[in-house]
Amino acid sequence: MAKEVMETKRVEEYERDEEEEEDEEQMEEWDDWQSEEEEESSSRCLCLFCSSRFGSAEILFDHCRSEHSFDFHHVVRELGLDFYGSFKLINYVRSQVAENKCWCCGLTFQCSRDLQNHLHPASNFQKDGNFFWEDDLYLKPYVVDDPLLHSFAGDEDEEEDPPAVDEEMMRELRSSEELPELCNEGQSMINGDSPMSDVFKETGNTEASLNSMDKISQGMMTNGMILKPCDQKQKDKQLRVSLANVVAREIKNVNEKYFGSYGSFGIHREMLSDKVRTDAYRGALLNNPSLINGATVLDVGCGTGILSLFAAQGGASKVIAVEASSKMAAVATQIARDNGLLSEDSMKGEEQHSGAINVVQCMVEELDKYIYIPPNSVDVLVSEWMGYCLLYESMLSSVLYARDRWLKPDGAILPDTATLFAAGFGRGGTSIPFWENVYGFNMSCISKEVMEDASCVPIVDAIDIRDIMTESAVIHSFDLATMKIDEMDFTAIFELKLRTDPANDATSRTCPCYGIVLWFDTGFTNRFCKEMTTILSTSPYTPRTHWSQTILTFREPITMTSSDAFASSTAAVGTEESPAVRIRSRISIARSSEHRSIDISLEISGISSDDRKQSWPVQIFSL
């Protein structure tokens, strides 16, 4: 009996041991499964805005686009972000969402639910000219071991074909003078046009900066993150093509807005009503028969076609009117037809007239695609290309392109000269007097902010000659028959002295100079206009034009005098105690990185009668 009991116990112990082993194995399997689940969960990409997780970056971005109004790929394409820019964008968005802030407008909310209800498509990506995520601190992952940062760009090691180039945009890019600059991405970085330009800004040393970039590209640690090495040559190729696409797209957009703005009849009425402008061209085209009679004329940017009509009226045998705005090209065609001046080439099977004008709708850089003109076969090139401050809108480059391609070696360009002038203006040329008395109320507290704004942005307005206090000075002259495109950018030095005015004794007192006013003249000279020359002037001393003048306001006025009696060796030059007898200015005007705009830099120094000098910080104006 005892033997049976012992055997029974032995069997029970064995079974119990078996059960314990099975339980242990099950626990181990459970732990393994749980560990795998946790690992799988941690490797899934966490949404940028909510707690959802996704198996791939693409699914996550689709979710963000549909649920949170954040289209990652659109932002990257629109802004031309490279790998590092995209990397910083993700970390920036995560940092803002963690504080319940809207990533694009900056509003803060009480909870994440309120933030998610608020999210909207971004309309702005910059503050003070920089992306919100420009700071290199966003190169450090906001979420430790964030799977999205390893997957949003795909496999970096795979060989990829460079992005496809938009041929239409590239044609526009090639027609501009900016393409050579884009091909030198290294120089762009040094100039600050690249997302990596912060490296150069921080060091201030080009060689050291290049060394820093080389270390980064080799996978060295930056802000706690190991940057993955990649095929630099392939990435450079992709970067160049992407950059070219972005700039070409920007040029295309600006061109569309620019030419679209000329589809409004209001601006054409303003130009046609400008008698100074229109009469100058009319006189040159109608009163110089030796130039126009029987000539082939190319009109660049014809608008309503008024200059082409004058040329045909003056006896031109053939007038090619080029207009990029589709609306205005159609209008110019109809106007020429209604006046019996449309050529047979333009009739296309309609009732034909013996006119001279053929309207072509395109940019002049693409004219060869629409009509064949033998090289160097045009007798006269005419265009009203001038913008505010002469060079705004940068249409001159298109005129010079047409000149070099189609104008005969001895052909005429109208106008053939252009000259920029400057003079100093006094208090009446500012808005200060207006704010001092508004319907009897003193609002001069506003004028300080207005003047600060005016010291950064040029003002286009007509200035009263009574407010001009200095003699005029020539800044720069252009010979349109021979100049090169890169000569559109220039630097000039000039001096301004108080003008003598017999009507008042201005020379015996001090006068504060508040800034510089610019204007231009264009000439139809006897080089081509043998019978009658003409000057088109936008000077404040001549009848007003639609160009008015361009006003550059100093940050602070400079007191001037023409008398030697005001001289103090201790007071600062340009003050009442020690007024300047002359103002020396250095001005640079250059085409802006923003297509069709210009940047103006102005450096000024006041010089006293004892030759002491006071200089002021450079001012930058964008037009």
User: Which residues are part of the catalytic machinery?
Assistant: 384, 393
Give the span between the Cα atoms of 333 and 319, in whole angstroms.
Answer: 12
CB proximity list for 580: less than 8 A, separation 6 or greater: 558, 559, 560, 561, 573, 574, 606, 607, 608, 614
- Produce one character per residue of 138-156: b if its CB has 16 or more CB atoms within 10 Å, e if not: bbebbeeebbbbeebeeee
State both tokens at 162.
């460079």
Give the residue carrying structure tokens 């686009």.
65
Give the span between the Cα atoms of 280 and 323, in whole angstroms.
Answer: 21
**Distances, alpha carbon 252 to alpha carbons 3, 128, 613, in Å:** 101, 25, 47
Q: Is 44 exposed, middle or buried (0-12, 13-18, 19+ CB in 10 A)?
A: middle
Give the span between the Cα atoms of 381 and 327, in whole angstroms.
Answer: 23
State both tokens at 116.
């998610």
460: amino acid identity, one letter = V
| Strand ranges in 158-238 using DSSP code E only, listed in sequence order | 221-222, 225-226
454 within 8 A of 553, measured Cβ to Cβ? yes
255 within 8 A of 364, measured Cβ to Cβ? no
182-189's contacts with Cβ under 8 Å and 24+ in sequence apart are 182/240, 182/243, 182/244, 182/247, 183/240, 185/236, 185/239, 185/240, 185/243, 186/210, 188/243, 189/213
State both tokens at 180.
């050579």
Give the span between the Cα atoms of 62 and 57, in whole angstroms.
Answer: 9
Cα 261 off chain centre by? 17
Sign of the torsion formed by the C-alpha atoms of 370, 372, 373 and 374? positive
Give the span between the Cα atoms of 95 and 72, in whole angstroms.
Answer: 16
**Distances, alpha carbon 430 to alpha carbons 74, 393, 435, 438, 452, in Å:** 44, 25, 10, 15, 12
Beta partners for 296? 318
For residue 415, whether the previous peptide bond is cis, meaning omega lies within 30 degrees of 0, is yes
